[in-house]
Amino acid sequence: MNLSQLHTMFKANVSKCYSTLVNVADGTIAWLKNKKGMPHGKKGWLVPLLSVLIIAAGAYFIFRPKRQISEFPIVKVETVNTGHVNIYGEYVGRIRAQQHVEIHARVEGYLQSMLFKEGSYIHKGQTLFVIDPRLYQAHVNKARAQLNKARAQAQKAERDLKRIKPLFEKNAASQLDLDNATAAYESAMAEVVVSEADLTQAELTLSYTSVSSPISGYISQRVADIGTLVGPSGGKSLLATVVKSDSVRVDFSMTALDYLHSKDRNVNFGAADSTGKWNSYVTITLADGTVYPHKGIVDFADPQVDPKTGTFSVRAEMPNPDRSLLPGEFTKVKVLLDVREDAVKIPNKSIVIEKGGAFVYVVRPDSVVERRFIEIGPETGNETIVERGLAKGEKIVAEGYHKLSHGIKVNPVPPANSKKEE
């Protein structure tokens, strides 16, 4: 039941009460006329009648419905602002160590000792394993002896040649004797070079029996136990693994469309440049849902797309001072794809989406709302970028648009959070 119906009903009840009061007044006057001493005639009953009428009129004015004052709908408005908006993409990434080196046995032999603690930090050049060196030490000794023999023969050949030359000059020796002496000397010198190479090779092979780390980092558990036959041919080759994880690399795959959008706009994939572009950085989320405090920089993008998946590989380098990122684990990667400079952004809750498109209610300076269609862009959290249709400084309805229609007047109020900020 609306206000107009209530008003009509109330007027009918008041009229009915008024008629009842008049009837009561007429009856009262007639009763008074029958009493002794009551004056007859019009003037005699006029005063009581007027009293009753005054009472009825007073009751009507007191209890009549008050005139309803038309109120405008109250809506919360916000001012359209502009600013830099970061557009992100989310992908699944895998963490790997910056350096991952496998320690292999380069010579065959029985593993004699292990000189490190599994899982500890080791330094570059630190000895890790020792393979039984006796056989290779014997090869070194033999090569050294061969070298000494070759050097002795070379010295004898040199002395013979020195004796032949003066004799040949005095025609005391033939040309054949000189040629033989020269050939013997050159052959002896060549044998010295071969023996020196054999000794170097034997010493190098002997050094392989002492297995050291080529990098600094954390070492895994040993693969081969002490006493195991190891080596590149018959035995186990892999002994342990060393990883350098004070900084890690995050590998993930992007779609070609995302990459093209980033290149067409102002995000740089790779090392920092001097063109004023924004460098693409990544943030990752750990397994417990917390955001890793350090950010990484994208330093590599594969120049070709995988035709099977339509994606290409991207790599970012990220600091890992506390070793909270473990190589091999999967994580969620958030990548900066674009920076929209001076973009118009509005709250998501102020946008109405219908078949015809998206629109908002714009509040004009005279407090009249205007239904305006807009072209929306990507969402960033609780806000949406408006490509066209709105300008900075305009006021839009943020809450209460469900009771609006185009062209009506409203009572705009700022949202509660803006009052607190002021």
User: Which range among 15-19, 69-73, 88-92, 285-289 shows the weakest confidence by mean pLDDT?
Assistant: 15-19
Q: Is pLDDT of 334 > 80?
A: yes
* The predicted structure's pLDDT at residue 36: 47
pLDDT band for position 308 (cuts 50, 70, 90): confident
Q: Measured between alpha carbons, how far is 323 from 307 in angstroms, rounded to an integer?
A: 36
Say if CB 108 and CB 89 are below 8 A apart: no
Q: Which two tokens stand for residue 14?
A: 């008041």
Q: Is pLDDT of 85 > 60?
A: yes
Average pLDDT of the residues in 252-264: 74
Burial class (CB in 10 A: 0-12, 13-18, 19+), 65: middle
The winner for highest mean pLDDT among 23-27, 73-77, 330-334, 376-380 is: 330-334
Q: Is pLDDT of 200 > 90?
A: yes
Q: How far apart are the first and last CA of the chain?
A: 43
* The predicted structure's pLDDT at residue 19: 63
Q: Average pLDDT, whole number, for the chain?
A: 81
- Return the residue matching tokens 């009572």: 411
Using DSSP, state whether 214 is helix, strand or coil. coil
Q: Is pLDDT of 73 > 70?
A: yes
Write out pLDDT tens, residues 148-198. 999 999 999 999 999 999 988 888 888 998 899 999 999 999 999 999 999
Q: Measured between alpha carbons, how far is 375 from 128 in angstroms, rounded to an integer?
A: 65
Say if CB 296 and CB 316 are below 8 A apart: yes
Say if CB 258 and CB 301 are below 8 A apart: no
* The predicted structure's pLDDT at residue 328: 87
| Residue 194: closest CA among 141, 138, 149, 133 | 149
| Residue 177: closest CA among 156, 190, 163 | 163
Q: Which two tokens stand for residue 78?
A: 């916000």
Q: Is pLDDT of 69 > 80?
A: no
